[in-house]
Amino acid sequence: MQFEFEVTGGDFANAGTASSQVKKILKQLNVSVSDIKRIVVALYEAEVNIVAHAYSGVVTVEIETTQVRIILKDSGPGIPDIDLAMQQGYSTASPEVREMGFGAGMGLPNIKRNMDVLNISSEVGIGTTVEMIAFLNVA
């Protein structure tokens, strides 16, 4: 099962809309509450990252019985140093992003903690692609 969502850079009012939709879908599919929470928390942080840093992005969510794989591909400035961006506390967020309650350099570490797989590739001046996978806790 696959779903696609568009995310607009700078549109803070709608940041989280995709994550909200995904939460509803996962609930309908009877995914466990704890898996839903870690997936949507990670996705929300990643979605906020697109709104905060990129011009536009597409979120693709692939749901299987054993895993949820999410690809977030954005057109934006890219990340020059991914290791640095992964460090807790490092942030290039604007004052506007901080006013929204983010921008403390916790997003990427938060995503990593919640997902089982996290891959980031980025090209400066082109954009960033984030792949994240959660293996579902199925009985």
Partner 1 sequence: MKISEIVTILDGVLVAGKDQMDREISFGFASDLMSDVLTLETNDLVLLTGLCNIQSIRTAEMSDIPCIIFVRRKKVTPEMIELAEESEITLIECNYSMFKTVVTLAEHGIRPLF
Site residues for partner 1 per CB under 8 A: 12-13, 15-16, 19-20, 23, 33, 37, 40-41, 44-45, 48, 99-102, 104, 106-107, 110, 113
Nearer to partner 1, 45 or 123 (CB): 45
Give the CA distances from residue 34 to residues 26, 46, 71, 87, 97, in Å, rounded to whole numbers and listed in that order: 11, 19, 21, 26, 28
Nearer to partner 1, 28 or 65 (CB): 28
In the complex, minimum distance from the CB of residue 125 to partner 1, in angstroms, rounded to a whole number: 27
Q: State the Cα–Cα distance between residues 109 and 89, nearest whole angstrom.
A: 9
Q: State the Cα–Cα distance between residues 48 and 108, nearest whole angstrom.
A: 11
**Are residues 36 and 23 in contact, defined by beta-carbon separation less than 8 angstroms?**
yes
Q: State the Cα–Cα distance between residues 41 and 16, nearest whole angstrom.
A: 10
In the complex, minimum distance from the CB of residue 89 to partner 1, in angstroms, rounded to a whole number: 11
Nearer to partner 1, 13 or 126 (CB): 13
In the complex, minimum distance from the CB of residue 106 to partner 1, in angstroms, rounded to a whole number: 4
In the complex, minimum distance from the CB of residue 123 to partner 1, in angstroms, rounded to a whole number: 26
